[in-house]
């Protein structure tokens, strides 16, 4: 029955079986984050292109190569959101959330879009869960957010997870380091990949992220920013580490950690999972103290993360069982069909899942169907108005009063 139409390259359908897995992941995140005072926010699936150019950064792969950008009918440039942090900062400013108690703690989930080369764990439409605390520069906020993502992955039972931690310092203190790094890259220009060479001036940090063999050799001897942190940046980083130690959260310091978005300052982190192959990052984030100002607001420190739902589901690789149906109301005679519908409605109202035949099957066909959909009990409405209750596991059947069905089915194991 295949049609010539298929989901576009790099996208996928979430079928009910998979949807059950994802619902469990989303529920766990919502519960854990709500308990810590994070409130749900939703922003549009598209924004003005400039928001991402300014927010995510013109030198990033995301803005240079991966955005789904188009003109709307009014000639405005629109982009399907590649990430959620810049839109949330836009919303924070647009709705004057700086007047609320700070930090404003938000969480979100939904689809995001990046025109990447599709492979396992990397899609063009994917889904993130994310959390942001806007309006605090305290290391306590960094540690709280890291602990929440740790708790989520732990509670879901994601195996083989490791936390990598780094710091980028503040933009002012980073400047001297970047000059040093650029000098190192220039000195080894000929061994670098074309892409890295072209971005020495624009985004030298990205060289740490390159897969190119020659570039990797050059980066092995490059100075790292973590070694160069000083003053308040060093203190902030030490405090985040000490808070994680106190919380018993294991991590390794990765002095070469960089992330694909330009807005990060100070703490950055990445949860990787050894079950995921090449796309090993399950979630990550960091502090972005300059982003709100970059978007035209007052200086407002903030920190957050996002995790990929598909990557969590891939790492878990488990099926959540289909919910069975409590009851199926079958009819032995067509005149009973309306009554079956009414009864099913009453049972549903009482919190019992109940279905009726919607395909004009005979009684035998209805029983077969009830078995196929996993109904635990079948009520059979006879032609004379009496009712039988059949237990599908044991095959046992007995007369039952229709008026007492909700009690009988509700109290059964
Ligand atoms: P990101 O690292 O670009 O950060 O994405 C976060 C997560 O989204 C990744 O760790 C990964 O699990 C998932 N992800 C990213 N791209 C794809 C893809 N093409 N296919 C499947 N999954 C993907 C951000 O987006 C930041 N906004 C995170 C953040 C929030 N930083 C501060 N606050």
pLDDT digit string, tens, across residues 270-308 = 999 999 988 899 999 999 999 999 999 999 999 999 999
Say if ligand 1 is within 6 A of residue 306 CB.
yes
Q: Please indicate, yes or no, if residue 108 is contained in any of the structural domains.
A: yes
Do 253 and 395 have their domain in common?
no
Q: Is 220 within the bounds of a domain?
A: no
Residue 241 pLDDT exceeds 80:
yes
Report whether residue 116 contacts ligand 1, using a CB cutoff of 6 Å: yes
For the sheet with 69-71, list strands across it. 46-48, 77-80, 69-71
Same domain, 404 and 366: yes
> 241, 253, 240, 228: which is closest to 173 by C-alpha?
228
User: What is the 165 CA–ligand 1 centroid distance (Å)?
Assistant: 16
Q: Which of 285, 289, 313, 315 to mutate to test the pocket of ligand 1 (most atoms within 8 A of CB)?
A: 285
For residues 135 and 96, give the distance between their C-alpha atoms in angstroms, rounded to a whole number. Answer: 12
**Residues above pLDDT 70, as percent of the chain:** 99
Residue 62: Cβ within 10 Å count:
18
User: At residue 398, does pLDDT exceed 90?
Assistant: yes
Q: How far is CA 389 from CA 221, 328, 354, 380, 410, in A?
A: 76, 10, 13, 6, 13
Domain boundary (296, 316, 336) is at 316
| pLDDT single digits (tens) 151-210 | 999 999 999 999 999 999 998 888 889 999 999 999 999 999 998 999 899 889 889 988
pLDDT score for 319: 81
Find out whether the beta carbon of 260 lies less than 6 Å from any atom of ligand 1.
yes
Residue 349 to residues 116, 282, 342, Cα–Cα distance (Å): 47, 40, 11
Distance in Å, CA 149 to ligand 1 centroid: 13
Confidence band (pLDDT; 50, 70, 90) for 411? low
Q: In the predicted model, is pLDDT for residue 372 greater than 90?
A: yes
| CATH number where 265 lies | 3.30.930.10
Residue 408 is predicted with a pLDDT of 85
pLDDT in tens, 318-359: 888 888 899 999 999 999 999 999 999 999 999 999 999 999
Mean pLDDT of 371-390: 95
Span from the CA of 269 to the centroid of ligand 1 (angstroms):
12
Q: How far is the CA of 208 from the centre of ligand 1 (A)?
A: 18
pLDDT of residue 320: 82
Nearest CA to ligand 1 atom 8: 308
In the reported structure, the alpha carbon of residue 239 is separated from the centroid of ligand 1 by a whole-number distance in angstroms of 25
Nearest-CA residue for ligand 1 atom 17 is 122
Q: Name the closest-CA residue to atom 22, ligand 1.
A: 308
Cβ–ligand 1 contact at 126 (below 6 Å): yes
The pLDDT of residue 413 is above 60: no
Shared domain check, 332 and 312: no
Chosen domain end from 277, 293, 316: 316
299 and 363 belong to one structural domain: no
Q: How many domains does the chain have?
A: 2
Minimum CA distance residue for ligand 1 atom 12: 308
- Indicate the SS3 state at residue 341: helix
The pTM of this model reads 0.93
Instruction: Read off the pLDDT of each residue in 41-48 and give the average, rounded to a whole number.
Output: 98
Asked whether residue 103 falls in the same domain as residue 230, the answer is yes
User: What domain range includes position 382?
Assistant: 327-410
Q: Is the CB of 84 under 6 A from ligand 1?
A: yes
DSSP letters, 222-291, are: S--HHHH--HHHHHHHHHHHHHHHHTT---EE-TT---S-TT-EEEEEEEEETTSTTS-EEEEEEE-TTH
Same domain, 278 and 257: yes
- Are residues 394 and 266 part of one domain? no
Say yes or no: CB of residue 209 within 6 Å of ligand 1: no
**pLDDT value of residue 318:** 83
Pair (44, 128) in one structural domain: yes
pLDDT at 410: 75
Cα 15 to ligand 1 centre (Å): 23
Report the alpha-carbon distance of residue 361 to residue 334 in Å, rounded: 10
Q: What pLDDT score does 174 carry?
A: 87
- Give the percent of the chain with pLDDT over 90: 85
For residue 324, what pLDDT is reported?
A: 82
Question: What is the CATH number for 388?
Answer: 3.40.50.800
My answer on whether 116 and 30 are in the same domain is yes
Tens of pLDDT, residue by residue over 74-88, are: 999 999 999 999 999
Beta strands 69-71 and 252-253, pairing class: unpaired
Q: Which of 4, 90, 100 is nearest to 53 (CA)?
A: 90
Question: Which of 282, 316, 350 is at the close of a domain?
Answer: 316
Q: Name the residue with the closest Cα to ligand 1, atom 21.
A: 122
* Contact of 173 with 231, CB cutoff 8 Å: yes
Position 412 scores a pLDDT of: 57
Q: Which atom of ligand 1 is nearest to the CA of 281?
A: 10
Lowest-pLDDT choice from 56-60, 173-177, 219-223: 173-177
Q: Is the C-beta atom of 122 inside 6 A of ligand 1?
A: yes
Residue nearest to atom 3 of ligand 1 (CA): 260
Q: Are residues 355 and 406 in the same domain?
A: yes
What is the average per-residue pLDDT within 50-58? 96
């Amino acid at each position: 029955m295949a049609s010539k139409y298929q989901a576009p390259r790099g996208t996928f359908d979430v079928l009910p079986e998979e949807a059950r897995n994802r619902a469990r992941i989303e529920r766990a995140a919502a519960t854990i984050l709500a308990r810590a005072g994070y409130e749900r926010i939703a922003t549009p699936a598209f924004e003005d292109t400039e928001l991402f150019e300014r927010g995510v950064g013109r030198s990033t792969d995301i803005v240079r190569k991966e955005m789904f950008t188009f003109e709307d009918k009014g000639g405005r440039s629109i982009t399907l959101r590649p990430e959620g942090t810049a839109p949330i900062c836009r919303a924070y400013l647009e709705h004057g959330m700086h007047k609320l108690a700070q930090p404003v703690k938000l969480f979100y989930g939904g689809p995001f879009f990046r025109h990447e080369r599709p492979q396992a764990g990397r899609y063009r439409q994917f889904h993130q869960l994310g959390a942001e605390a806007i309006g605090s520069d305290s290391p306590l906020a960094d540690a709280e957010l890291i602990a929440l993502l740790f708790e989520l992955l732990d509670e879901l039972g994601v195996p083989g997870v490791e936390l990598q931690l780094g710091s980028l310092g503040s933009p002012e203190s980073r400047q001297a380091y970047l000059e040093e790094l650029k000098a190192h890259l220039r000195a080894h220009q000929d061994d670098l990949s074309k892409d890295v060479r072209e971005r020495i001036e624009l985004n030298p940090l990205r060289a740490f992220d390159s897969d190119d063999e020659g570039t990797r050799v050059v980066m092995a001897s490059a100075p790292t920013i973590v070694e160069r942190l000083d003053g308040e940046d060093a203190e902030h980083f030490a405090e985040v580490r000490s808070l994680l130690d106190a919380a018993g959260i294991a991590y390794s310091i990765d002095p070469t950690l960089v992330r694909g978005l330009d807005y990060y300052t100070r703490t950055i982190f990445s949860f990787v999972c050894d079950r995921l192959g090449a796309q090993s990052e399950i979630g990550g984030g960091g502090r972005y103290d300059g982003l709100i100002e970059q978007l035209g607001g007052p200086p407002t420190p903030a920190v957050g993360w996002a995790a990929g739902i598909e990557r969590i589901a891939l790492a878990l690789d488990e099926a959540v069982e289909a919910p069975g149906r409590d009851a199926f109301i079958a009819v032995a005679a067509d005149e009973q069909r309306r009554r079956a519908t009414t009864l099913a409605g009453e049972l549903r109202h009482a919190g019992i899942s109940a279905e009726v035949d919607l395909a004009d099957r005979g009684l035998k066909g209805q029983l077969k169907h009830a078995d196929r959909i996993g109904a635990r009990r079948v009520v059979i409405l006879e032609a004379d108005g009496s009712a039988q209750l059949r237990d599908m596991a044991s095959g046992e059947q007995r007369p039952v009063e229709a008026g007492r069905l909700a009690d009988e089915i509700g109290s059964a194991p």
